[in-house]
Amino acid sequence: MRSSPTILHLDMDAFFAAVEQASKPSLRGKPVVVGGLGPRGVVSTASYEARVHGVHSAMAMAHARRLCPNAAYLVPRFGIYRQISDTVMALLGEVSPLIEPLSLDEAFVDLEAGELGGDPRAVAERLRAEIRATTGLTASVGLAGSKLLAKIASEQAKPDGLVVVTPGSERALLDPLPVRTLWGVGPATAEHLRKAGITTIAEIVHAGEPEMVRLLGKAHGASLHASAAGLDNRPVVADRDVKSISVEDTFDADLTDRAHVRYEIDRLAERCVQRLRGAGRSGRTVVVKVRRYDFSTLTRSETLRAPTDDPGVVRETARRLIEPVDTTGGVRLLGVGVAGLADFTQEDLFAQVAEERAAGEREPDAYAPPELPATAPPAPERAKLWWPGQDVEHEEFGSGWVQGSGVGRVTVRFEVPSDSVPGRVRTFAVDDPALAHRDPLPLVPYSSPASVPKSPSG
């Protein structure tokens, strides 16, 4: 760990939802939830106005709607998220050449590798101001002598803040925090520690490494104790060569019902795609991991013809992989991952068509439909589908976005990012020839509400 706080962790505040608020004047200062709108959809990002109602990422969308029924529920627009992410990363590049992106909205920066010099706090404040002036969005920053502490500091800084961990203040930051704050502590590990009377980071340190090894095993126990002690010498690594992206869950009680296993596979596939798209990646190989009641673990994989980030493709492939696996004795853990990563998507059209035939005219289960090439007109059946949040253009009324659709009608609010007041709402037939999809308009920096309620980070 360094003797000065020269590792910076930046995390854009409620990134996807904040972009939607900046793009849509009528949603500024109001609860916004971005994610899958179908019955199996999950929340990707919730604005802080929605988080005060208990909505958070990875929550089932149906549950979010019950908690915050008056929020705007929108499909993601990954094209514009990537554009803004590129702008933010370019600003980070002006601070230091050594940047380790974690996703579209998050990165580590090694200030020692930069040429600006000076006080790290001043550098961080200037960076936050430049991001806000350029994009209209806010970012939270943590500064510390290690990646672990910088990451935790940025979480404490949310929203729109800066926390600097100076030498000697590490324990004051770490000790009162819950064990879930540390990397590698999921629900199952946290529950195991709770049963042992350990709920805070300070209690991990006081328990000692031998006790952690006894509770969690040699590798996990020793690593967790070191993290709790604030020991982290990992360098900031530019252009990390990530081989795969995956998610997994360990269940408190073994799953024995086959339908429940399928449900969990679907849910994990949705979460995996969320992480995949958040990192701006696609992948060719879908992997399913199963740990059974007797701790035997197996993996099954299938390589697609082209990289994809389509949730339907990943979900259907994961279903095929789990189908022949014998789970009658009970399942302790399930995981879904995507490997063979790429920076582009070339949709598996056959799987996509199969998904659409099964879905009919319903809303998507997880995410917005794949973006179509600019040179190719949309297929007729896709042109009739409208999802809340999509950008549209009307020959008479100009640019706007879809507020909702159903029973053959589509409602559009006509407003653009540069507007200072909400636009007017009009309703059309879904097959109105004057209404068409359009690319997102660039953001225009605006003044967000002065006070944003503190809530869970993201």
Residues identified as active-site: 106
Give Cβ neighbours of residue 109 (< 8 Å, ≥ 6 apart).
7, 8, 9, 10, 92, 95, 96, 98, 99, 100, 236
Backbone angles phi, psi at 324, to 5 degrees: -80, -5
Q: How many CB atoms lie within 10 A of CB 94?
A: 13
Give 116-121's long-range contacts (Cβ < 8 A, gap of 24+): 120/4, 120/5, 120/6, 120/8, 120/164, 121/162, 121/164
Distance separating alpha carbons of residues 38 and 366, to the nearest angstrom: 6
**311-322 helix and 258-278 helix, angle to the nearest 10 degrees:** 140
How, if at all, do strands 391-394 and 282-292 pair? unpaired
How, if at all, do strands 43-46 and 32-35 pair? antiparallel
Distance separating alpha carbons of residues 115 and 178, to the nearest angstrom: 37
Tokens at residue 431, please? 């097959």
Tokens at residue 202, please? 């300070």
Taking alpha carbons only, the member of 389, 339, 400, 353 closest to residue 36 is 389
Taking alpha carbons only, the member of 174, 181, 157, 178 closest to residue 13 is 157
Give Cβ neighbours of residue 307 (< 8 Å, ≥ 6 apart).
282, 283, 284, 340, 341, 342, 344, 345, 346
Distance separating alpha carbons of residues 247 and 336, to the nearest angstrom: 6
- Single-letter amino acid, residue 209: E
Question: Residue 353: helix, strand or coil by DSSP?
Answer: helix
| DSSP assignments along 138-184, one per residue | -EEEEEESSHHHHHHHHHHH-SS-EEE--TT-HHHHHTTSBGGGSTT
- Single-letter amino acid, residue 120: P
Distance separating alpha carbons of residues 394 and 427, to the nearest angstrom: 11
